[in-house]
Amino acid sequence: MDDAILPFQIDSSGLRGRSARLGAALDAILDRHDYPAPVAGLLGETVTLAALLASTLKYDGVFTLQTKGDGPVSLMVADVTSTGDIRGYARFDANRLPHDGTPTFRDLLGAGHLAFTVDQGEHTERYQGIVELTGDTLAECLTHYFRQSEQINAGLKLAVGRGDAGWRAGGLMLQRLPDQEKIIPASDREDDWRRAMILMESATDAELLDPGLAPSRLLYRLFHEDGVRVFDPQPVRDRCRCSRDKVTAALTAIPRAELETLKIDGRVEVNCEFCNTTYRFDDADLDRLKEEARAES
């Protein structure tokens, strides 16, 4: 039931949707950096949104959702590969974080933009969408983008929380796609959409996060009167794409004299911001890199 996206359809209206439930994967992503609770919660929403959006696309590569703002949380990034590997990272200034009350979305991000990118490799054209942070939540920013740029109605509901078993997240996404316009009268489309949105909004945070309530059961609870069908779940995994080989390839391109200036306690250290893994290279490692580079050239 956890760490998966469940596609579904409401039969009476033809509306399509996704349900997200993240458990151990999200907890691992957030726990590695010991984020303050407000930052962790916001990054949890970003990771969940990335998983939901990626599941609606057909691509072979990496889908990335990113925010940049002038608030204490200057950057958030979550990406999902077409095979379901997911990771996330937040950059923040602890000295600027509000310490009284519960900070709002605006308190944390300030003004800025949200971007998402589909990258299918060096020989393909990247697709990117950018929208200002217009709204009081990340979900509102994305629904605004869909409505203005893609001419698609989308509804999103998210919940992120930390319990005894760690961080969890749940989400629902509904979309009214263009092909429905051809087969359903306009008045019925509007009524169906409003009804579906009311039903989706009736889901509580507790229901979205409850490990004992299967997503399929929640969907039935919400939409059974209109007929709801679920399809095969799409698993997601906490898995970073960094590796020692990739770091090695990057270091090979840097002159040895410059590498010397990067040393800490006699070694070059490279830290992955996503998974917090540190790769260390001593003089013997650096000499070997240069020898291998010369041999290949």
Residue 255 clears pLDDT 90, i.e. is over it: no
Tokens of 217: 């059961």
Q: What digits encode the pLDDT tens for the residues 151-186?
A: 678 999 999 999 888 999 999 999 987 655 555 555
Cα 108 from Cα 98, distance rounded (Å) = 8
Best CA proximity match to 280, nearest among 258, 240, 251: 251
User: Whole-angstrom distance between the N-terminal and C-terminal Cα of the chain?
Assistant: 50
Residue 150 clears pLDDT 70, i.e. is over it: no
Residue 293 clears pLDDT 90, i.e. is over it: no
Residue 245 clears pLDDT 70, i.e. is over it: yes
What b/e readout covers 211-227, taking b as 16+ CB neighbours within 10 angstroms?
Answer: eebebbebbeebbeeee
pLDDT confidence of residue 184? 59
* Local confidence band at 221 (pLDDT 50, 70, 90 cut-offs): very high
pLDDT confidence of residue 187? 59
pLDDT confidence of residue 294? 74
> What are the CA-CA distances from residue 83 to residues 61, 235, 250 (Å)?
8, 9, 25
Angle between the 186-201 and 215-223 helix axes, to the nearest 10 degrees?
A: 130
When comparing pLDDT for 55 and 145, which is higher?
55
Over residues 197-223, mean pLDDT: 97
Over residues 5-24, mean pLDDT: 95
Best CA proximity match to 109, nearest among 165, 64, 68, 159: 68
Residue 238 clears pLDDT 90, i.e. is over it: yes
| 36-40, 121-125, 254-258, 261-265: least confident range | 121-125
Average pLDDT, the chain: 91
Q: What digits encode the pLDDT tens for the residues 117-133?
A: 998 877 677 788 888 89
Residue 115 clears pLDDT 60, i.e. is over it: yes
pLDDT confidence of residue 148? 77
Q: Is residue 188 classed as helix, strand or coil in its secondary structure?
A: helix
Q: Where are the beta strands (DSSP E) in the chain?
A: 4-10, 15-22, 62-69, 73-81, 85-92, 112-119, 127-132, 153-163, 166-176, 228-230, 234-235, 237-238, 263-264, 267-271, 278-281
- Which domains does the chain show, CATH number per domain? 4-238 (3.55.30.10), 244-296 (3.90.1280.10)
Say how many CA atoms lie within 13 Å of 289 toward its Cβ.
22
Cα 85 from Cα 204, distance rounded (Å) = 28
User: Is residue 55 within 8 Å of residue 84, measured between CB atoms?
Assistant: no
pLDDT confidence of residue 288? 86
User: Is residue 20 within 8 Å of residue 139, measured between CB atoms?
Assistant: no
Cα 4 from Cα 237, distance rounded (Å) = 8
